[in-house]
Structure formats: structure tokens, C-alpha cells
């Protein structure tokens, strides 16, 4: 571990649990831990609690969730080692699988309240909403660019964890390790993308990808029924681009009354395709006219266009609508 000297007292609880975390993640994946992992506790990229590289982790220690973050990132390092290390880049192009595995490991080890296996109730609810609103099809999980370009990229965590849970339910606890080792094979194709990449990895592991996706789809339908009451009460926001004297804003409207404990928000990104570290989020303020609006950050207006996602946060759960990109010349008067 490396960290600023003044942070010693704050990071000590995490460091004291680190060896146990390392061993627990390795045991869950059915492997020997192997070489130590260097962990930089001075911070990480914007909008990320942690980032994993080959044998290295960068993360921040802000609250009690640091141990869970360490488990998540440790799972990433082990997954990279199993899938080929420096010569294997397939896992980088399987975002939902990669993040889902780390999220599932975090859930299994964290024993969060309400967790079923490696999936929490909050993750189940998010997945149920995705299914009920038809935001992401099962096949969509395998198309990394389309997934990130169309919907909230952070859905890769709950949806991916449920996908891994279905994989383990069908093929047993060793399934993630078997799948990763298949990708490490010397003759594994290095130029595949999307569904072809996923299908090849599953076939070499002697798994059936379509069966797992079917299991996943059936499970989400069950979650729709389980959380139907909560889904019915969660309003869906829509956003319009409006002009302001000094720029632009997003005016929000809802299909249902906004509950008292719900807060509207809007996330922006610079262009149709951009990394999550560049996202900016603003919370809705209620105008005198009774409309919620969110100012568009000046640096989020790119190529005369504003790309945004309206969303609602309630009881700690944030649900965004699909991305919308509007030209500024289509903005209406405030």
C-alpha cells in the first residue's frame, strides 16, 4: 500500500483487513492468490471509487465501503490474471461480464443487507426496472459500445452481477474461473468483438451463452413481479432543452407525481461517446413556475449539442433514462 502520511489513521482499518480480503476473493474464485497487488490509496479517476490494472489498484478511502471496493478491484486483478494477463485483452471488451464478476464477488463477500447470493435487493430492483421499461435486452449485454452509448453505463454492475449469478447457478461455482481460463488459451482469437467474442469464450469453456442469457431474462421477469409495486410508484422523467440568458438548461417533466423523498437529477456527457470519468451530474431545482430545471455545464456543450440523461434518485437508488443528444438550435425559450 502507498498513501499520504497524513492518511495513516484513516486507511489503517482497510490495511488491517487487506490480507483477509485478498484471500477471500481468491477462495471465492477458486484460485491461489499469487503475487501481491500494489495498491495506491491516494485516489482514482473521476466518478470511480477504484480502478484496477495489471497487478495494481488505485482507489480512494472515504468511508466504510473501502473494504468492499478493495474486494471489487482485487477481483478485477485476479480476473485479468486468469484471462491472460498482459497478452489477453478480451476481458476489456466484455464490460458487463468483467464488472458483473467483480460486483458479484463484492456482494458475496460483503454480506450486504438483503443480499441473495452475490446480488443485493437494490441491484434486483434496478434490474427489475430495466426489464419492466425494456431498457436493455439480454443480447444488448454483449455489445459494449451500444450498451454504454444508449443507457446508464453503471447498469453494468447490477445487470452483470445477476448475469454472473445465473452463470454460477447453471454451471457451478467454478464457472467464472473456467470461463476466464478459456480466454487465456494461446489460440483464443484476438480480434473478436461483441456477441462473437462472448460466444467464443463460452463455447471454449463448454458453456452455452444463450442458455445463460435465457436464464437471465427469466430471472428479470421474476424480479419484475417481485418489485412491481415499487416500480409502479417510480416516475419516469423526460427532459427538454431550453435557452437561458447565459446558456442552457434541461427542463424536466414526469409521467407521475414526484414523491416527496425523490430527487430529480440530470447527467451530462461531452458528446455521444465518452468515458464515464467525464460525466457531470446536476440536481433539479424547483422554479417559481413549478418546473424542475438543471443548468447545462458550459463545457458539456460540444459540437453545438447537449447529451444528457434525466433521472430520479429515491431511497438511494438512481435510475436514469436512455441518453438523449439535442442540438442547441432546437432549444426552446425558457
| Lowest model confidence (mean pLDDT) among 63-72, 76-85, 113-122, 169-178 | 113-122
Give 257's DSSP letter.
P
Per residue in 279-320, pLDDT (tens digit) is 999 999 887 778 899 999 999 999 999 999 999 999 889 999
- Is the pLDDT score of 35 beyond 80? yes
Between 170 and 114, where is the model more confident?
A: 170
**Grid cell of 268 as nine digits:** 451530462
pLDDT band at 272 (very low <50, low <70, confident <90, very high): confident
- Is the pLDDT score of 22 beyond 80? yes
Between 115 and 226, where is the model more confident?
A: 226
Q: How far apart are CA 95 and CA 88, in angstroms?
A: 14
What's the pTM? 0.91
Q: What ranges in 144-290 are assigned the alpha helix state H?
A: 144-150, 156-171, 175-183, 194-204, 209-226, 228-232
Q: What is the mean pLDDT of the chain?
A: 92
Nearest alpha carbon to residue 140 among 182, 90, 198, 92: 198
Cα dihedral: 274, 56, 197, 98 (round 10): -80
Per residue in 51-101, pLDDT (tens digit) is 998 889 999 888 778 999 999 999 999 999 999 987 778 999 999 999 999
Q: How many CB atoms lie within 10 A of CB 114?
A: 11
Nearest alpha carbon to residue 37 among 88, 1, 10: 1
Q: How far apart are CA 315 and CA 294, in angstroms?
A: 21
218 three-class SS: helix
**1 with 59: CB under 8 angstroms?**
no
- Is the pLDDT score of 331 beyond 90? no
- Is the pLDDT score of 114 beyond 80? no
Amino acid at each position: 500500500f502507498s498513501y499520504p502520511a497524513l492518511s495513516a489513521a484513516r486507511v489503517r482499518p482497510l490495511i488491517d483487513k487487506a490480507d483477509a480480503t485478498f484471500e477471500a476473493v481468491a477462495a471465492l474464485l477458486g484460485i491461489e492468490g499469487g503475487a501481491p497487488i500494489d495498491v495506491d490509496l491516494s485516489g482514482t479517476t473521476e466518478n470511480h471509487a477504484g480502478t484496477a490494472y495489471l497487478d495494481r489498484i488505485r482507489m480512494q478511502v472515504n468511508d466504510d465501503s473501502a473494504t468492499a471496493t478493495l474486494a471489487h478491484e482485487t477481483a478485477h486483478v485476479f480476473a485479468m490474471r486468469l484471462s491472460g494477463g498482459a497478452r489477453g485483452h478480451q476481458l476489456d471488451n466484455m464490460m458487463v461480464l468483467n464488472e458483473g464478476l467483480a460486483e458479484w464477488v463484492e456482494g458475496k463477500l460483503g454480506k450486504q443487507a438483503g443480499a441473495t447470493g452475490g446480488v443485493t435487493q437494490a441491484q434486483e430492483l434496478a434490474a427489475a426496472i430495466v426489464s419492466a421499461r425494456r431498457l436493455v435486452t439480454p443480447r444488448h449485454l454483449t455489445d459494449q459500445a451500444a450498451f454504454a452509448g444508449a443507457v446508464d453505463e453503471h447498469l453494468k454492475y447490477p445487470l452483470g452481477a445477476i448475469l454472473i449469478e445465473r452463470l454460477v447457478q447453471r454451471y457451478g461455482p467454478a464457472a467464472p474461473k473456467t470461463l476466464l481460463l478459456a480466454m487465456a488459451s494461446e489460440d483464443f482469437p484476438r480480434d473478436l468483438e461483441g456477441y462473437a467474442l462472448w460466444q467464443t469464450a463460452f463455447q471454449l469453456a463448454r458453456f452455452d451463452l444463450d442458455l445463460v442469457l435465457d436464464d437471465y431474462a427469466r430471472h428479470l421477469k421474476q424480479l419484475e413481479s417481485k418489485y412491481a409495486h415499487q416500480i409502479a410508484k417510480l416516475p419516469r422523467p423526460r427532459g427538454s432543452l431550453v435557452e437561458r440568458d447565459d446558456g442552457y438548461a434541461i427542463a424536466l417533466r414526469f409521467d407521475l407525481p414526484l414523491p416527496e423523498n425523490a430527487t430529480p437529477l440530470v447527467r451530462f456527457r461531452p458528446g455521444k461517446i465518452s468515458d464515464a470519468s467525464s460525466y457531470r451530474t446536476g440536481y433539479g431545482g424547483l422554479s417559481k413556475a413549478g418546473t424542475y430545471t438543471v443548468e447545462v455545464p458550459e463545457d458539456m456543450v460540444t459540437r453545438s449539442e447537449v447529451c444528457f440523461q434525466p433521472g430520479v434518485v429515491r431511497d438511494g437508488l438512481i435510475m436514469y433514462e436512455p441518453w438523449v443528444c439535442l442540438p442547441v438550435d432546437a432549444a426552446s425559450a425558457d
